[in-house]
Structure 1
Amino acid sequence: MIPMNAITPKLAELLEQEITAFATCWLLKLKSGEELGFTDFDQDLNINNITYHSASGFTPSAVLSNSGLAPDNLEIEGMLDNELILKQDLIAGKYDHAEIEIFLVNYENLNAGKLHLKRGWFGEVSIKDNMFIAEVKGLTHALNKNIGDLYSHRCRAKFGDEKCKADLSKYTFSGSITEAQSNNTLIDINRAEESDFFQYGSIKFLTGANQGIAKEIQSYTRSGKIVLASPLPHKPSAGDSYEITAGCNKSFETCYKQFNNAINFRGEPHIPGITKLLKV
C-alpha cells in the first residue's frame, strides 16, 4: 500500500510533463457508511469501483496546509441541483461530520495512482440560493479543543449524560402535530407543560416526511408552540407523531427546582463573578 504522502513513480513522471491531464476528485464518506464521489472533470470517472460524478459543480478554495499547529483552511462549494446533493439532506444533517478526501488523478491514466491534497471532515455548512458552502476541518482542528474543565456559573455537563445522570426517560413525551406554521414552527395544542420546559431540548419525528429526523428546540410556550433552532427539510403535516425531550438551560436554579438534580450540577454557581472581584 502506498502511503498517503507518497505518489507512484508513474504519477510523478506524468506530473513532470509540460502538458498534464489532471482532474480533482472528492470522496465523501458519510456517517451512514455511504460513499459519494465527485470530480471537476467533464466526464464521470470510475476509480476503485467508485463513480466520481462530474455534474456536481464542486469547487474548492485554495488548499492551504500549515507547517505549524494552526488549523488548515479550506471550503468546498457545490450546487444543489444535483440528484446526489439535495437541500433537504443538508438540512437534515445527512452530511454532518462526513469525512472528505481530496486528490488529483490523471484522467488519461487512472491506474497511475492519486496525489492526495487534503483529508478532513465537514464542519459548518451554509446554504445560499442554489449553492452550499461546506467548511472542511483538518486533523489539526482537534488541537483547538479545550483540555480539562473551566470554572463556570453554568453546568458543563450535557443534559442526561454520564455526568448529569438525569434520567431522560422521565422527561421524554410523545405527541402529534396539530398545526405546522412553517418548517420550524409547530403547534401541538394538547401540550400542557410550562413554558420553556422543552427549550434547548429536542424533538424527533416518528412518522411523516421527517420521520427519523431530530432537531433542537429553540423555544416552547405553554400554548403548545414549538420553535426549532433550525428548519426541518420538509414541512410537517397535522397528525405527524413525535417524541419530545425536555431541555436544560444549565443554570443551578433549573437543575435544582425543575429536575431535582443539584447533587450532579457540574458548575460553580456561588463563585463571585468578575464584577464582584473588581470591587474594592
Structure 2
Amino acid sequence: MSIMEDAALDLRLRTAAADWLTERAQHQRELATQAELAEFIFEGRRVALLDRQRGIRKPAFLDAALSFRTRYTPPGHLPPYEDREGPDGLLRYKYRGEDPEHPENVALRRAYEHGLPLIWFVGIAPALYLPRYPVWLIADEPQQLQFVVALDEAQRLIVPGDAVGTERRRYVERLTRLRLHQPVFRARVLQAYGTRCAICQLRHGSLLDAAHIIPDGQPAGDPVVPNGLALCKIHHAAFDQNILGIRPDHRVEVRPDIRKEVDGPMLRHGIQEMHGRQISLPRQRSAHPHRHRLEARYEKFRTAA
C-alpha cells in the first residue's frame, strides 16, 4: 500500500470513528463501555477504538495512534489531568512509562508529527468512558515525559511552553472547562445519581444538569462528584437562585416567601411540594454530597432567604 493510500485509510478510519461516536451521542448514548468500543465496525472489519490493556490505541494497520485514555478516578479525587496544566494553560498527557521510544509513545508522536486528530477517552466509571474528540497533540516534551494536548482548533494556535498573559490563559482555561472539565463533571455526577434528578426523580438525561454545591472557581468548588448534585433544569435553576436549598440532612427546603406564592401548577407541584422531601443519594457512599460543602451552601441559602 502506498503512502497516499495509507493516509487515505487513516483519514477514513478517524472520520468514521468520530461519526459513529457523534451518532451515539445524538441518541443519548454519549458514554460508552469498553465492550461497546471494541465493537466498532470499519469497512467490514471490527476495529476496537480503545485498547483493553493499554492506555494508547494504535490499530496494527495504522502508523499512528488513534486514541488515548485517562482511567476512572474515584469520587472525591481530582482527575489526573487537573495537575497537568503548563504555564501556557494547556493540558499535558504523560508518556507510557519513562522510555520516550516505547511503541505507544512512538505511536502518539507520529500522530503529533502528522497533526492527526485523536480521541481522548476519559474514565467516568470502571470500564465506562466519555469520548472527547477531536483533540490534537501540539508538542512533545520528552524532558517531562509528556505531550501537550489541544482540545480544539483555537488551542492549537497557542505556542506550547510559552508563559501567556492573564487574559490569554483565562481564555485557554475557559476552553478547557467547556471541552473537558464540565462534560466530565456532568457525566460523572449523572452516572453517580443513576441519571435522575435528586429532588424530583426525573430520568430524562437531556433535561438533567450536574449542579455544583460550591460554585466552580470558589475554594472547595472542585469538579468532583461529592461537590455535585444531579438536578433537572428547573431545580438546578431554583437551587442556583436560592429559591430552594438542600439542608445538610439531605432534605429540601423551599424559601418561605416562595411557599406562600400562588401561581400555576409548576410552582405548586414542581417547587412548593418539594419542601421537606429527602433527596435521593448515590449508591456509593463516597459519592454522597460532602457535608461541609452542603453546610456552607445551605448557609448561603438561609442568608438569601
User: Per the shorter chain, which TM-score range?
Assistant: under 0.3
> Considering only CA atoms, is the larger Rg found in Structure 1 or Structure 2?
1
Q: Answer 1 or 2: higher relative contact order, Cα 8 Å, separation at least 6.
A: 1
* Greater share of helix: 2
* Greater share of strand: 1
Q: Taking structure 1 as the reference length, what is the TM-score of the superposition?
A: 0.26
